[in-house]
Amino acid sequence: MAERRVFTLSQVAQHKSNKDCWVVINGRVLDVTKFLIEHPGGDDVLLEVAGKDVTKEFDAVGHSKEAQNLVLKYQVGILQGATVQEIDVVHKEPNSKQEMSAFVIKEDAESKSVALFEFFVPLVVATLYFGYRCLTRTDPVTY
């Protein structure tokens, strides 16, 4: 269950440094200090609005559902006077299995012999050709 400690906006305003950064989004008070370096939009945008209600800025960016869920992860309380829905959750397990697909190129004995064949056949043909040309040469050799 999310934290439901109640804070005033002036209490939130005390936390506005990169070592201690809080914001309010939709009535939820969030401690985003640890999230600063992870924020895909950069830590500077968060630090610019640190200690404030950033709901408008957050919405203006059009954050994804995943970003909205992340908000819940950093909740430390709620803003005094705000009505906040009791969680609509959804955190993906960090180690939840994700499917991956890949092609494996097998280097088996058969493909090796094909490669050898492709190399040697032109070599043998070329040698035979030059050998034949040498043996059937008719012009006299002048010294």
Position 13 contacts ligand HEM (CB under 6 A): no
Return the residue of 66, 87, 90, 128 that touches ligand HEM, per CB under 6 A: 66
Position 70 contacts ligand HEM (CB under 6 A): yes
Only one of the segments 6-14, 38-46, 83-91, 119-127 lies at the binding site for ligand HEM (rule: CB under 6 A); that segment is: 38-46
β partners of residue 6: 78
CB of 56 to ligand HEM, least distance (A): 9
Q: From residue 81, how far is each of 78, 94, 142 by CA, in Å?
A: 9, 34, 112
- Please say which residue, 7 or 74, places its beta carbon nearer to ligand HEM: 74
List, in order, residues 6 or more apart from 21 with CB less than 8 Å away: 15, 31, 32, 33, 36, 46, 47, 50, 51
- Please say which residue, 73 or 112, places its beta carbon nearer to ligand HEM: 73
The total of other beta-carbon atoms located within 10 Å of residue 45's CB is 13
Position 41 contacts ligand HEM (CB under 6 A): yes
